[in-house]
Structure 1
Amino acid sequence: MLIAICSLKGSPGVTTLTVALGARWTGPEIPIVVEADPAGGDLLTRFRLNAAPSVVGLAASTRVRGNAEPDQLARHAQFLPGGLRVVPGPVGSEQSRAALSLLASGPSPLRIAGDRVDTVVLVDCGRVDPDSPALALIRAADAMLLLARPRDEELAHVALKLESAQRWSRRPCFVLTGPGSPAARVAGELRIPVMAHIPHDVKGAEALCGRGGIRNGPSRSPLGRAAAKLAFSIRTSVIQTASRLAPQSGESDLRLVQGGAPS
């Protein structure tokens, strides 16, 4: 399974949510987080990781080998304090865009890893536009989570690009993050279902970075609980879609999955 997470404007917390989804993934699959933000990554500095292995090395190995291998992505992963596998991106935008361009030029090791029944690949694509080198990864994904803050100025910008953005993915899903307008109001104004509304949770985000204690750990924090429910919803949605006949070309199969999510 391959899930792309991105935004259309600003920095609504794409990296934080991607890590949270990996840390709280509810299925039997092993999650691997890949940082594919064209503007440059945060995981190296946020978690004080080594410079390698990384997305840069993954891109280079794909170019040298010519064909991606099922375990190639896992070999380029590092481990966060809680055990989550991550493939960090470079800090600089120039190096990041170059690496992503290489990954988009041939068979994708992300897609091949995502085709494994025992793996889910969660890709942090950052802020995306039609010229983004991460767009090829989004188009190859089983689903796209599109994040936005529920604020009027940001939603107005999203509304202008939403119709085009929904065509990037076979399964576009809209997610709100942080305080602002209620999800029902946003859904009505944009005429799009809201799959989840992720709370602003500073302590929960700190716990994901290994700085939290037991009381505000990922499983107990509002962010962690919301991420677990979203992980359940998107996994269920992808599995249900895969079990049906694919929708006709050009149709958007966007629905809100409800019920049965873990607490």
Structure 2
Amino acid sequence: MTTTVLALAAAWPDRADDGVRPVVVEADVSGGDLAVRFGCPHTPGLLDVATAARKDHPGSLLGATAELPFGVRVVVSPAGGRACAEAVRLIAESGQQVLLGDESDQGTVVLDVGRLGVGVEGLLDAAETVVLVSRGGADALAHVFAHLTEAGPLVERYVLVVIGPCPYGPGEISATLGVARVVFLPWDPKAAAVLAGHSRAALRISRWKGLRLMTAAGEVARQLSGTGEVAVSGLSGDLAGLGAVPPQGGTVQHGLAGLAAKEAGS
């Protein structure tokens, strides 16, 4: 879900050594949502990045970014699927070069690749961590299971984020689906409304990042980025006991796209 990607990016911790914010790239072969959602032009954006991918020195992503009202930098894409599918193909074929940018570029690139499907394999192969986003029902988790059984060695880099109510515990999900890292995010209509562009007035509330979704997303983002300590109580403590949080040295910090968020089910 794009809302989940934006929550993680908005809650991503500033690194003490550089303070670099992540860049979200809409890399969905079916087209993007953010340009329409927030009323920003789709150029410069994904199509410009794809054009640059053909060059020997594609330059930095920063020239193609827009700034969302809550401080997240994004590379947006148009709604049209055909153009986006071709752009994603070109970027995937370029390998890491166009996503890494110039030598001076630092930080994390978060790829929002949309639903499970064909056309994004190259991006997933290049990502340091792949985040699957699913609701907690058996029907949605069945789609996750089907994908994970085909993932092969790539499954070691997967994190499953379960959104909203779920009748299953993290240990049961991990054992059944074969994914080592399982985390939960609450369904929070107030925070989701801000991230969906429906409640810009809420941005005037200085503590909107203290809403439930943003608090939980911050904890997940810290685990993924390797900054700060993992909480010793609550869900993080339970997951640490299960080996379900990223180990030291296996975190997303600098360079290539850190996450490829995929929606499994609906």
TM-score range, shorter chain: 0.7 to 0.9
Q: Which runs of 4+ in 1 moved over 4 A?
A: 114-117, 213-218
Question: Which residue in the other structure is 1:143 paired with?
Answer: 129
- Structure 1: runs of 5 or more not aligned: 1-13, 238-253
Paired residue type of 1:25: W
Provide, for residues 136-194 of structure 1, a one-character-per-residue CA deviation record: whole Å limited to 9, x for no partner.
Answer: 11111111111111101111232222122353466211111122223333234324334
Question: Which residue in the other structure is 2:143 paired with?
Answer: 157
* Aligned residues of 2:70 and 2:203 also touching (Cα < 8 A): no
For the structure 1 residues 114 and 179, does the alpha-carbon distance in structure 2 shift closer, same or farther, using more than 3 Å as the test? farther
* Aligned residues of 2:61 and 2:99 also touching (Cα < 8 A): no
Question: Which residue in the other structure is 2:215 paired with?
Answer: 225
Question: Which residue in the other structure is 1:36 paired with?
Answer: 27
Distance 2:5 2:244 in 1: 19
Question: Which residue in the other structure is 2:70 paired with?
Answer: 82
* Aligned residues of 1:145 and 1:173 also touching (Cα < 8 A): yes
For the structure 1 residues 142 and 49, does the alpha-carbon distance in structure 2 shift closer, same or farther, using more than 3 Å as the test? same
Distance 2:137 2:215 in 1: 23
Distance 1:164 1:175 in 2: 19
Question: Which residue in the other structure is 1:9 paired with?
Answer: none
TM-score by length of 1: 0.76
Provide, for residues 86-121 of structure 1, a one-character-per-residue CA deviation record: whole Å limited to 9, x for no partner.
Answer: 001221111110111111222444541498673111
For the structure 1 residues 214 and 255, does the alpha-carbon distance in structure 2 shift closer, same or farther, using more than 3 Å as the test? farther
Correspondence 1:175-190 to 2 at 5 A: 175-184=161-170, 185-190=172-177
TM-score by length of 2: 0.75
Matched residues, percent identical? 29
Correspondence 1:30-179 to 2 at 5 A: 30-63=21-54, 65-69=55-59, 72-113=60-101, 118-129=106-117, 132-165=118-151, 167-168=153-154, 171-179=157-165
Post-superposition shift, 1:77?
0.5
* Aligned residues of 1:32 and 1:86 also touching (Cα < 8 A): yes
Post-superposition shift, 1:196?
1.4
Post-superposition shift, 1:226?
1.1
What is the alpha-carbon root mean square deviation over aligned residues? 2.7
- In the alignment of these two chains, the number of paired residues is 225
For the structure 1 residues 34 and 106, does the alpha-carbon distance in structure 2 shift closer, same or farther, using more than 3 Å as the test? same
Correspondence 1:210-249 to 2 at 5 A: 211=200, 212-215=202-205, 218-236=208-226
Question: Which residue in the other structure is 2:3 paired with?
Answer: 16
Distance 2:156 2:45 in 1: 28
Post-superposition shift, 1:125?
0.8
SS in 1 for 2:161: strand
Provide, for residues 185-217 of structure 1, a one-character-per-residue CA deviation record: whole Å limited to 9, x for no partner.
Answer: 323432433431011112101223362245595
Provide, for residues 56-112 of structure 1, a one-character-per-residue CA deviation record: whole Å limited to 9, x for no partner.
Answer: 11101222x23333xx21111011112221001221111110111111222444541
Paired residue type of 1:143: T
SS in 2 for 1:66: coil
